[in-house]
Amino acid sequence: MTYRPDIDGLRAVAVLSVIFYHADLGLPGGFVGVDVFFVISGYLITGLVLNELDESRFSLAGFWERRIRRIMPPLVLVSAATMAGGWWLLLADDYKELGQSLVSQVLMLSNVFFWRRFGYFELGTELKPLLHTWSLAVEEQFYLLFPIVLVALNTWSGKRLQKAVLLALLASFALGIYWSHSMPEAGFYLLPARAWQLLLGALLAMLPDLGAFARPWLTELMGITGLGMIICALACYDGTTSYPGVAALLPTMGAVLLIGCGARSIVGRWLAQPWLVGVGLVSYSLYLWHWPLLVFSRYWAAVPLSLVQRLLLVAASGVLALLSWKWVEQPFRRRTFCGSRQSVFFFATVSTASLFLLGFGVHHARGIPSRIPEAAQLYADGRQDCPYRKQVSLEQAMRGDFIMLGSQHDAQVRVLVWGDSHAMALLPVIEDLCQEKGFRGAAAVHYQTAPLVNYQNRGAYSLKDKTPLFSASVVDFVRRHKVPRLILTAAWNDYLEESGAPKIKQSLQETISMLRDCGASVWIMEDVPIHAFDVPRRLSATALFGGDIEKIGLPLDAHRAASLLQHSTFQEIEPKKFTLLDPAGFFLNAHGLCRVAADGRALYTDGGHLSGHGSRLLRPLLLPVFE
């Protein structure tokens, strides 16, 4: 295949889109740049393989040698640098996860690893330094499988092969649409749901050069339409877009049209400008470097990075990319380093084994907590101070199979906690009080699921349209087992923002009425103070850098203002056949702040969920429920 400068220009558009999105520089849909990369990769790899097959000079060993020379040298460098940065910057749990992600990366399974690590209580994706390698894993898996398929089907006619690729493409697209609704994380990360984008590029490489046969006006239309589709996705999509699914058609087909029309169009000639081609040439190294720099810069930041800081980080990524392209990428690709096939395979084997052992060692050593001063590590351990994170499924609720607490010798459930993940965080103190009083307790808890009847949640982790069945099962359990005490608590502000105060007020009135009809007394606890930062990490940073722990926390007035809607909603419920519990006063310190630490330990596992230590702070508030 002849060199296409316009494709390097399209690479530049793709990588700059991703970087601007990650650096929050005004492209809410910049993540679609990855889709453009997938199309380019499918097109180029398929074209090269088919050309060599036609000339009877293709070998899998030669193909993988070229892939190693292209992919591994800068990836090994960035991976090693990221592990070194993590040694100095990351807390033990996060460094342990970085080691695990390194192991998955060298096994070409990063996408599977991050899919499996996607969860309600997981560390935010913006703080995972090797997260961006998921897209490399998708391409690497494609590189392993698709050339073998092409070799196996080499005897097929061109049209027959195109039909086979088209069928595989449609199957992958259909799966991607299905997963985008039923398993959105799998649809985003895994090859089966992403293969259609690579296969579109492959199919384009199998077809005649569209630009060569199209009329000039049609070529221009293809270029303008293709660029317009990508721009539309960059501007109109954002983090709330259901993706990839059908939405991925817009940037993917835009990339297909731009590659198809080539440099014959005005848009193609614009993409072939030297400055865009230059960015495209270093796009791989630029993609590798930018994300760890952003993650490490955000990790200890007390406030969001400023515009100037983000621009400087992008510039630093460009400098590192240029250096690694010149001194690492190019020498390997031009065979200045590892000139023979044997030597490059030896390099791949040694570097893979070394990175694997490094990552596994960090994982096995639990992130090497000895790197961190004891006081800072004790605060960081607050993340794991969460004994109750197992939610109750709908099937369990319908069977009455709730989380059991306290004394198992007491035949009757005497207190039931009902709510979402914030109710889960309250369970350690409930367990203590149940044990102390000889009570048997139970918990009906599910992520993002309000303790309300006749209410449907919309959160990604909620039961959604099945929520009423869950709530009905809880009420039925209370009725059948004659549970005398109920504690309802949740992230009330989330549901008030989701559905509005009138709807929540009505559902609360109905819930209280139903529970009272069952003979139960009802206590409703307002939500605890919510902080806009990761509490254990902020406490660790303060301990490391000599700050005052007592000056960390939300001012009480700010908490009251944030809680005004939930408080007024509870006050307006008539008749008041429940007891309202306000936890805020138990967090107040001498500075008028809602404290986040006590006795050298974190009171939260993140910004809003109490730790076990934090829940026990509320023992005096909850004790009357048990008397």
Instruction: Please answer whether residues 475 and 512 qualify as being in contact, where contact means their C-beta atoms are separated by less than 8 angstroms.
Output: no
The answer to whether the bond into 184 is cis (omega within 30° of 0) is no
Confidence category of residue 461, pLDDT binned at 50, 70, 90? confident
What does the pLDDT read at residue 56?
86
Q: Give the pLDDT confidence score for residue 125 in this predicted structure.
A: 76
Q: Give the helix ranges, DSSP H, for 372-419.
A: 374-380, 394-399
**Nearest C-alpha neighbor of 149 from the set 216, 99, 195:** 195
| Among 196, 218, 88, 86, residue whose Cα is nearest residue 142 | 196
Tokens, residue 134: 């998921």
Q: What count of other Cβ atoms lies within 10 Å of the Cβ of residue 24?
A: 15
The pLDDT tens digits for 348-383 are 999 999 999 999 999 999 999 999 999 999 999 998
Instruction: Specify the pLDDT at position 460.
Output: 79
**Residue appearing with tokens 């090269």:** 48
Specify the amino acid at residue 476: D
- Using 50, 70 and 90 to split pLDDT, how confident is the model at 627? confident
Compute the average pLDDT of residues 331-337: 91
% of the chain with per-residue pLDDT over 90:
76
The partner residues of 524 in beta bridges, in order of sequence, read 488, 580
Contact present, 23 and 313 (Cβ < 8 Å): yes
Q: Is residue 561 scored above 60 in pLDDT?
A: yes
Asked whether residue 306 carries a pLDDT value surpassing 80, the answer given is yes
**How far is residue 388's CA from residue 382's CA, in Å, rounded to a whole number?**
14
Within 8 A by CB and 6+ apart from 599, the residues are 613
User: What are the strands of the beta sheet with 579-581, ordered from one edge?
Assistant: 403-406, 440-445, 413-419, 485-489, 521-525, 579-581
pTM of the model: 0.89
Place of tokens 């001194």: 327
- Among residues 380, 376, 378, the alpha carbon closest in space to that of 544 is found at 376
Q: How confident is the model at residue 120 (pLDDT cuts 50, 70, 90)?
A: low
Q: What integer pLDDT is reported at residue 542 of this predicted model? A: 92
Average of per-residue pLDDT values in the chain? 92
Q: Please report the pLDDT score of residue 324 as a whole number.
A: 95
pLDDT of residue 6: 94
Question: What tens digit of pLDDT does each residue of 213-239 get?
Answer: 667 888 899 999 999 999 999 999 998
Does 311 score more than 90 pLDDT? yes
Mean pLDDT of 532-544: 91
Could you give all domains of the chain from N- to C-terminal order, each with its CATH number?
5-371 (no CATH), 385-626 (3.40.50.1110)
What secondary structure letter does DSSP report for 24?
T
Give the separation between CA 255 and CA 557, rounded to whole angstroms. 52
Phi/psi of residue 258, nearest 5 degrees: -65, -40
* Omega before 555 within 30 of 0, i.e. cis: no
Average pLDDT, stretch 33-58? 93
Give just the sign of the alpha carbon dihedral 149, 151, 156, 161.
positive
**The predicted structure's pLDDT at residue 387:** 85
- Binned at pLDDT 50, 70 and 90, residue 122 comes out as low
Gap between the Cα atoms of 595 and 592, Å rounded: 9
For residues 371 and 365, give the distance between their C-alpha atoms in angstroms, rounded to a whole number.
11
Q: Are 508 and 546 in contact (CB under 8 A)?
A: no
Residue 396: partners with Cβ closer than 8 Å, 6 or more residues away: 402
Checking if the pLDDT of 211 tops 60, the result is no
Q: Torsion-angle region of residue 500: left (phi > 0), alpha (psi -120 to 50) or beta?
A: left
Those residues with Cβ within 8 angstroms of residue 408's Cβ, 6 or more apart along the chain or in another chain: 440
Rounded Cα distance between 191 and 384, Å, is 32
Task: Give the span between the Cα atoms of 535 and 542, in whole angstroms.
Answer: 10
**Worst-scoring range by mean pLDDT, 113-122, 160-169, 581-590?**
113-122
How high is the pLDDT of residue 478? 94
Residue partners of 260: CB distance under 8 A and separation at least 6: 204, 210, 211, 222, 226
User: Would you call 414 helix, strand, or coil by DSSP?
Assistant: strand
Q: Does the pLDDT value for residue 123 go beyond 80? A: no
Over 70: is that where the pLDDT of 111 sits?
yes
Tally: H helices and E strands in the chain = 30, 10
Residue 246 to residues 177, 179, 259, 438, 607, Cα–Cα distance (Å): 6, 11, 21, 56, 34
Write down the pLDDT at residue 277: 95
Which pLDDT score, from 0 to 100, does residue 507 have?
93
* Cα–Cα distance list, 133 to 79, 102, 114 (Å): 10, 9, 10
C-alpha distances (whole Å) from 440 to each of 404, 416, 417, 474, 615 are 7, 9, 12, 16, 19
Q: Which residue has the higher pLDDT, 463 or 132?
A: 132
Of 98, 93, 86, nearest in space to 131 by CA: 98
In one letter, which amino acid is 557?
Answer: D
Pick from 134, 94, 126, 132: which is nearest to 110 by CA? 134
